[in-house]
C-alpha cells in the first residue's frame, strides 16, 4: 500500500496543510539552516495564491554565525508573517542563571523554546528535522504529541548546566510510548496540556534537500559554502570562536577554505575544510562523503545516545 503523493514536495505540502487544519496556532521553527529554508518555501507553496496560516519562531542561543543571523533577518522580512525571536539568555535570566559565555548553549535552547510555547500558547511546532539525520530522529513520527512544558526552576537548570544528562524538562519525548501513526492519516487530537511536534520533511534526505535548493534556486546562509575564517583546532576539526570569547582563544588560524554541514550553535558546530563554493559543489561533495551529516556536531558526541537524551529532556 502506498500513497498517491508522487514526490516529496506533495507529501510535505499535504503535512503542512493538515497542520494548518488541525491546530489553532501552528508555528514554524526557523533557524536559517537548509532544512528550515526548504520548509519555509514549501509552506509558501502549500497555500499559494493565498497566504500561509503559520507564524515563525527562532530560538537564538546568542552563539550564532553572523552570516546565518543576517540571512534569517533577510528571509523573514520578506515572508509577510509574524516572526518571533526568543533568546536563551532571556530564558536563563528568568531562571536567575548566569550563562557561561563560552559553553555550548545547544541544550539550553529547550528552555527558551518551552517558554515560547507557554508565552505564545503554541499548540503545534513545525520543524524541518529529518529522519535520516540521526538514529533517534529515525524513530520519529510525523505528528508527535508531547506534554506542554512547565517552567523549570533555577535549581533544575543548574543541574542541566552541570550535568551531561541534564534536568528533565516536562516536555520530554518518550519514544517507547509513541502511538502508531497510520500515514497518511495524521492524528491532530491533543489532550489538555499537550502540544504537537510536526516533522514535515521526515522523508527527505540531506541530498534531497540540496537538490531542492538547487532546483528552486533557494538562498541559504553563505557559511554552507567554502569561505575564509579565523578558526581554532579541536581534535581534527575546526571551530569558530563565539563572539564574546574574544581573546580567550589563543591560537586561531586564518583558514582559507572551510564550511559547515549544519547550521547550529557556534560552540558545537564544527567547520571542515572544503572547496565547495556553490550548491552544485556541495551536492557533488555530499555524494562521496564518508562523514555523516551530524558527524561534525559536538553536541552529538557527548554520548552514544546524546540526541535521544536531549529529546527526552525537552529538546525539539
The DSSP code sequence of 39-64 is: HHHHHHHHHTTS----EEEEEE-S--
Question: Could you count the other beta carbons within 10 Å of the beta carbon of residue 275?
Answer: 11
The CB-of-103 to other proteins minimum distance in angstroms stands at 23
The CB-of-22 to other proteins minimum distance in angstroms stands at 9
Task: Give whichever of 156 and 205 is closer to other proteins, judged by the CB atom.
Answer: 205
Task: Give whichever of 8 and 99 is closer to other proteins, judged by the CB atom.
Answer: 8
Beta strand extents in 208-302 (DSSP E only): 227-234, 237-239, 253-259, 272-273
Report the interface residues with other proteins, using CB under 8 A.
1-11, 13-14, 17-18, 20-21, 44-51, 131-132, 134-136, 138-139, 145, 175-176, 178-185, 187, 189-191, 202-203, 205, 289-292, 295, 304-305, 308
Query: Whole-angstrom Cα distance, residue 60 to residue 109?
Result: 8
The CB-of-151 to other proteins minimum distance in angstroms stands at 25
- Cα–Cα separations (whole angstroms), residue 198 to 79, 113, 126, 144, 289: 20, 15, 5, 6, 29
The CB-of-80 to other proteins minimum distance in angstroms stands at 13
Query: Whole-angstrom Cα distance, residue 66 to residue 255?
Result: 17
The CB-of-230 to other proteins minimum distance in angstroms stands at 25
Give, as one character, the DSSP assignment of residue 271.
Answer: B
Query: Whole-angstrom Cα distance, residue 260 to residue 238?
Result: 10
The CB-of-86 to other proteins minimum distance in angstroms stands at 28
Look at residues 255, 261, 256 and name the one whose alpha carbon lies nearest to residue 283.
261
Task: Give whichever of 115 and 293 is closer to other proteins, judged by the CB atom.
Answer: 293
Task: Give whichever of 55 and 90 is closer to other proteins, judged by the CB atom.
Answer: 55
Task: Give whichever of 60 and 134 is closer to other proteins, judged by the CB atom.
Answer: 134
Task: Give whichever of 36 and 306 is closer to other proteins, judged by the CB atom.
Answer: 306
Amino acid at each position: 500500500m502506498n500513497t498517491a503523493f508522487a514526490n516529496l514536495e506533495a507529501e510535505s505540502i499535504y503535512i503542512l496543510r493538515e497542520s494548518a487544519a488541525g491546530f489553532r496556532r501552528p508555528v514554524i521553527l526557523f533557524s536559517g539552516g537548509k532544512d528550515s529554508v526548504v520548509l519555509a518555501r514549501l509552506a509558501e507553496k502549500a497555500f499559494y495564491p493565498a497566504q500561509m496560516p503559520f507564524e515563525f519562531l527562532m530560538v537564538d542561543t546568542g552563539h550564532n554565525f553572523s552570516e546565518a543571523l543576517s540571512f534569517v533577518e533577510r528571509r523573514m522580512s520578506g515572508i509577510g508573517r509574524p516572526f518571533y525571536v526568543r533568546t536563551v539568555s532571556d530564558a536563563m535570566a528568568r531562571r536567575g542563571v548566569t550563562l557561561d559565555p563560552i559553553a555550548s548553549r545547544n541544550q539550553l535552547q529547550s528552555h527558551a523554546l518551552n517558554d515560547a510555547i507557554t508565552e505564545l500558547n503554541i499548540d503545534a511546532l513545525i520543524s524541518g528535522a529529518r529522519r535520516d539525520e540521526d538514529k533517534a530522529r529515525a524513530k520519529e513520527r510525523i505528528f508527535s504529541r508531547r506534554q506542554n512544558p512547565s517552567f523549570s526552576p533555577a535549581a533544575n537548570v543548574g543541574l542541566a548546566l552541570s550535568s551531561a544528562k541534564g534536568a528533565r524538562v516536562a516536555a520530554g519525548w518518550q519514544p517507547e510510548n509513541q502511538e502508531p501513526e497510520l500515514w497518511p492519516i495524521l492524528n491532530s487530537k491533543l489532550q489538555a496540556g499537550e502540544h504537537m511536534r510536526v516533522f514535515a520533511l521526515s522523508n527527505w534526505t540531506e541530498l534531497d534537500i540540496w537538490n531542492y535548493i538547487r532546483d528552486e534556486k533557494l538562498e541559504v546562509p553563505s557559511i554552507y559554502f567554502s569561505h575564509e575564517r579565523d578558526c581554532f583546532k579541536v581534535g581534527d576539526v575546526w571551530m569558530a570562536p563565539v563572539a564574546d570569547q574574544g581573546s580567550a582563544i589563543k591560537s586561531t588560524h586564518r583558514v582559507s577554505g572551510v564550511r559547515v554541514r549544519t547550521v547550529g550553535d557556534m560552540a558545537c558546530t564544527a567547520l571542515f575544510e572544503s572547496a565547495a563554493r556553490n550548491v552544485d559543489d556541495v551536492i557533488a561533495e555530499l555524494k562521496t562523503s564518508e562523514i555523516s551529516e551530524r558527524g561534525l556536531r559536538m553536541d552529538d558526541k557527548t554520548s552514544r545516545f546524546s540526541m535521544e537524551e536531549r529529546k527526552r529532556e525537552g529538546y525539539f
